[in-house]
Amino acid sequence: MSDAVFRETAAEPRTQSVPLAHLSLELGHLYMEDFEAGPGRLRRHFEEVRPWAEAARAAAVARAGGRRARISTCFLVDDYFTRFATPAEVVPMLLAEAERAGLTLDYLARESGCAVTGKTPVAEAVAGRIVESPVPGSHGGRPPTARTGWLANGERAPVARAPQAMKRAAPWQPPRETAARRHSVFLDTELWNDDADGHRTWSCPFLAAVWQLARLGLLRDAGEAVLVPQQHTGTGFPDDWDDLPSLVRLNPRADPFSAYRTCSIVPNRFLPVEHAVRVVLDQIEVDPGALAQVAERSGKERTAVPDSVADRVSYVFYAGP
């Protein structure tokens, strides 16, 4: 008797692979007021960024052990919280000021693409993969993130309640970081909020966490890669942000968008946001197929990649204008 088992090929789970560079180098993520301030503000930004970008490149080359390091650059435009100007106005100005500083922008992304890309609810899919780290000694009294939209890196301070008859009021307790080193650095971050009509607005830290997953080549929806670069064709850019792809390849000779590691060079006002990003990344159940692909390919290339997804992310924070 044969023990063979037959399965439909379509029933087998499949994880789409993406090309990977060694480093994804983010050269900026600015707000509306930075663009409204004109080319001079962008010029100062890229002048600040250039020496740190050169240092990040040198570090990536050193990690490659003498082999050619694949490095791509990217820039994230905030078109999610505020719509300003048009791509036809903003993108040429960005490219011109980056070139003036001796930098090349390989990829341009729209922050709204981290919320929804095409018909894919990207942020919602990532939110569905949140697995809250259990707090030692917790008893489930805290509502889950899926209901509150808040995610912490430890145990919140208990809410003070009026004492019941014949019972003492519970003493105040401080919040506690789960992985504290001697002292806690507790963070409680809002991932989204819903208005009275049920419309959900994703927070900047959560969209930034989605952005990091995309840059690390770990973002999937039902196995399909999300935020895939679209090559820019033609000489101009559209007058509406919705007519610009979520992720545009500006340099046809660029190395892959996604990479084993990321580095973001941003003004220091982003430090609280990026702290929250790490808290989110530490509590996301990343697509196991995508993780396995990165592990296999980095092993073949003899490229060390940290086990922790959050540890694959690095930053340079500069003082800013």
Residue by residue, pLDDT tens for the chain (321 residues) are 445 544 454 555 688 999 999 999 999 988 788 888 889 999 999 999 999 999 999 999 999 987 899 999 999 999 999 888 899 999 999 999 999 999 999 999 999 999 999 899 999 999 999 998 766 555 555 678 888 899 988 888 776 555 665 666 667 788 888 878 889 888 999 999 988 788 999 999 999 999 999 999 999 998 999 999 999 988 899 999 999 999 999 999 999 999 999 999 999 999 999 999 999 999 999 999 999 999 999 999 999 999 999 999 999 999 866
Q: What is the pLDDT of residues 220-233, one digit of tens each?
A: 998 999 999 999 98
Q: Strand 107-110 to strand 150-152: parallel, antiparallel, or no bridges (unpaired)?
A: unpaired
Instruction: Return all residues near 10 (Cβ < 8 A) that are at least 6 apart.
Output: none
Nearest to 79 by CA among 113, 106, 41: 113
The torsion angle over the Cα atoms of residues 216, 217, 223 and 227, rounded to 10 degrees, is 100
Q: Beta-strand (E) ranges in 144-273?
A: 150-152, 154-155, 176-177, 188-190, 192-194, 200-202, 220-221, 224-225, 230-231, 247-249, 259-267
User: Can you give the pTM of this predicted structure?
Assistant: 0.89
Q: Any residues with CB less than 8 A from the CB of 63 and at least 6 apart, and which?
A: 22, 69, 303, 304
